[in-house]
């Protein structure tokens, strides 16, 4: 492999272009009456959807309770800040650990279940966590949640602490976290582990008969997906400085399903990212016009699924096949 060759290969990687696009995204936001913080929200939501899609499209497990892990990640970050230390890395780490731990427990119970039973049980567990967050005043703040939380400065070894309170600084930090998550998930789904997940999705009994302990693989996938969702939740807390039980509500779980499918996550790795962008922007645009934005968003979602069941990126696939 020559030097030039590897540069060419490097440039062929889609996430290089994605990175460049996201670098200028905050400057594009005003065109659609957006702002920098909205761009951060897109990235956070995209992270959540990528984690969710690892389970949906790469393992074949439709979870209807994923907001629980997102919310647990946010609470993990909040409680760490309140009770322990106002530290960015520790908070993110605890958010991921908390979400991962609960995902591991729920996954251990659910990964033997298949199809609709799996989905309904994730929904039930999600609501269970929602009610715990709603009721447990001492820890979660109950209905009013935990508010007034700040953004601890970013500390990197050998560098002075960086203040993240400005929207642009926080956006760039979010972009960095997002890129790491995206590249890791990208590698994961292309790894030998990822190929096993694919085989489980396509025919679990055959995968078992190849010698894979499919329940164990599904459990690992579930846990990783939970960890990524938790990280997204912790970032969401940093973005808003508050967490409420509604973060865990099943309607939020429904949103991430919608985002992922609408963008084309089922057929394309980048689908959830596109879906997240559309969701956040539409929510902002329609939300400014009417309170009933979810209704309109629902109509848009239904129309897209009726016309292109594979999601928006399905259009490109069709165009390719037509050529």
3-state secondary structure of 77: helix
Cβ distance to other proteins smaller for residue 151 or 201: 201
φ, ψ at 276 (rounded to 5°): -60, -40
d(CA 125, CA 250): 10
Cβ distance to other proteins smaller for residue 186 or 293: 186
Among positions 205-234, residues that touch other proteins (CB under 8 A) are: 205-214, 217
Write out the DSSP string of 103-116. HHHHHHHHTT--HH
Q: Could you say whether residue 191 binds other proteins (CB under 8 A)?
A: yes
Q: Which of 176, 184, 299, 302 binds other proteins (CB under 8 A)?
A: 184
Q: Could you say whether residue 188 binds other proteins (CB under 8 A)?
A: yes
Cβ distance to other proteins smaller for residue 135 or 206: 206
Q: Which of 193, 242, 246, 286 binds other proteins (CB under 8 A)?
A: 193
Least distance to other proteins, CB of residue 205, Å: 6
> Taking Cα atoms as reference points, which of 240, 222, 179, 218 lies closest to residue 47?
179
Cβ distance to other proteins smaller for residue 242 or 266: 266
Structural tokens at position 6: 């590897």
Q: Could you say whether residue 9 binds other proteins (CB under 8 A)?
A: no
Q: Which of 112, 114, 135, 187 binds other proteins (CB under 8 A)?
A: 187
Q: Which of 148, 157, 158, 192 binds other proteins (CB under 8 A)?
A: 192
Structural tokens at position 58: 């790469």
Q: Which residues contact 138 (CB under 8 A, 6 or more apart)?
A: none
Specify which residues 162 forms β-bridges with: 154
φ, ψ at 177 (rounded to 5°): -65, -45
Residues that bind other proteins (CB under 8 A): 184, 187-188, 190-196, 198-199, 202-203, 205-214, 217
């Amino acid at each position: 492999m020559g030097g030039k060759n590897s540069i060419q290969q490097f440039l062929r990687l889609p996430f290089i272009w994605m990175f460049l696009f996201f670098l200028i995204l905050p400057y594009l936001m005003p065109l659609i009456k957006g702002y920098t913080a909205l761009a951060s929200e897109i990235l956070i939501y995209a992270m959540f959807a990528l984690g969710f899609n690892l389970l949906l499209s790469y393992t074949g497990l439709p979870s209807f309770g994923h907001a629980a892990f997102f919310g647990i990640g946010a609470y993990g970050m909040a409680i760490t800040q309140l009770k322990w230390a106002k530290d960015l890395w520790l908070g993110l780490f605890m958010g991921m650990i908390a979400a991962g731990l609960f995902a591991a427990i729920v996954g251990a119970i659910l990964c033997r279940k298949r199809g609709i039973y799996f989905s309904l049980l994730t929904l039930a567990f999600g609501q269970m966590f929602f009610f715990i967050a709603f009721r447990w005043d001492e820890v979660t703040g109950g209905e009013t949640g935990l508010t007034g939380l700040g953004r601890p400065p970013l500390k990197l070894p050998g560098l002075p602490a960086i203040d993240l309170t400005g929207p642009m600084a926080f956006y760039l930090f979010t972009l960095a976290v997002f890129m790491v998550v995206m590249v890791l998930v990208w590698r994961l789904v292309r790894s030998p582990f990822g190929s096993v997940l694919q085989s489980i999705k396509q025919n679990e009994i055959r995968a078992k008969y190849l010698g894979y302990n499919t329940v164990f693989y599904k459990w690992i996938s579930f846990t990783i997906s939970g960890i990524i969702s938790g990280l997204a939740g912790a970032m969401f807390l940093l973005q808003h400085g508050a967490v409420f039980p509604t973060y865990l509500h099943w309607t939020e779980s429904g949103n991430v399903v919608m985002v992922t499918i609408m963008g084309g996550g089922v057929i394309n790795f980048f689908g959830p990212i596109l879906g997240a962008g559309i969701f956040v922007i539409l929510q902002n645009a329609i939300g400014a016009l009417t309170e009933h934005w979810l209704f309109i968003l629902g109509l848009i979602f239904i129309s897209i699924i009726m016309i292109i069941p594979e999601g928006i990126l399905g259009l490109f696939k069709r165009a390719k096949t037509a050529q």
